[in-house]
Amino acid sequence: MNNKIINFIKKKNKSKIISLTAYSKNIASIIDKHCDLILVGDSLGSVLYSFSSTKKVTLDMMIEHSISVRMGVKKSLMVVDMPYNTYRNPKEALSNAKKIISKTKCDAIKLEGGKKVIQIIKTLIKNKIPVMGHLGVLPQSATNFKFKGKETAERKIILRDSKLLEDAGVFSIVLECVESSLAKEITKTVKVPTIGIGASVHCDGQVLVTDDLIGLNKIKARFVKKYSNIEKQINDAALKFKKDVVKSKFPTKKHSY
């Protein structure tokens, strides 16, 4: 494990871990100052491309966006999602993870699932590829987006999976839409940091999709808090530009050659 990852793990029980998504350089360079981890999430499929699910996101899309993000990330740990159908077996996963890391120079990859993907995770880690796990709602295979951990049987599976992921050597686990007391139990049980999205304050850190945070993505989910209204600011700027152009107030001499 490299020092960046070791220092990230050490934050557990010391300070809350801050994580946001980025799909491009400009956003990445703004949020980098405030983040411990920047995720190039395959949520870009729905957020940027209006896909109905993340299943349509390709390896090439992830790589192209990650190359852009890399230019903006100076201090945070940069993690890239392995998209759907790119890690169906250890051989495929290793070849694709190597491709992501060599082309994007990211620090680690993230993939979804528990017991089903344990051999894959072990293979990647054995080959020195740092892996972040992802449990709870798994958008790449989900049939619905209801929170997880209401039923005892489901709770047991998620708790078991968190231990399996830890034993396999992941450096952190995203918990997506996991019931609060279960997220608390997992966070207490595993030694690596848990990063929640819709998984309560009990996680070691929190992640949000930046486009949701800034009010650029029209999503209505309980776990999203809109910290800014960038949609309004872009709208106002475009409107002012339009008025100036119509009235020939722009460009002035100052903006001309």
Q: Which residues bind ligand KIV (CB under 6 A)?
A: 21, 39, 41-43, 81, 174, 176, 197, 207, 209
Closest approach, Cβ 212 to ligand KIV, in A, equals: 9
Q: 3-state class of 235 per DSSP?
A: helix
Measured from the CB of residue 172, what is the shortest distance to ligand KIV in angstroms? 11
Residues contacting 26, CB < 8 A, separation 6+: 72
Distance (Å, rounded) from C-alpha 17 to C-alpha 19?
7
The minimum distance between CB 25 and ligand KIV, in angstroms, equals 17
β-bridge partners, 132: 110, 172
Nearer of residues 164 and 178 to ligand KIV, judged by Cβ: 178
Greatest alpha-carbon pair distance for the chain in Å reads 71
Amino acid at 104: T
Least CB distance from residue 191 to ligand KIV, whole Å?
Answer: 21
Positive or negative torsion for Cα 234, 239, 245, 248: negative
43 or 86: CB nearest ligand KIV: 43
**Among the listed residues 136, 142, 171, 133, the one whose alpha carbon sits nearest the alpha carbon of residue 157:** 136
Instruction: Select 168 or 209, whichever has its Cβ closest to ligand KIV.
Output: 209
Nearer to ligand KIV (CB atom), residue 73 or residue 174:
174
CB of 67 to ligand KIV, least distance (A): 17
On whether the CB atoms of residues 18 and 34 are closer than 8 A, the answer is yes
- Name the residue whose CB lies closest to ligand KIV: 41
What separation, in Å, do the N-terminal and C-terminal C-alpha atoms of the chain show?
55
Indicate the length of the chain as a whole number. 257
* Residue whose CB is less far from ligand KIV, 6 or 221: 221
- Does the annotation mark 176 as catalytic? yes
Helix (H), strand (E) counts: the chain: 10, 8
**How many Å apart are CA 114 and CA 165, to the nearest integer?**
7
Selecting among 64, 92, 112, 176, the annotated active-site residue is 176
Q: Which residues are catalytic?
A: 176
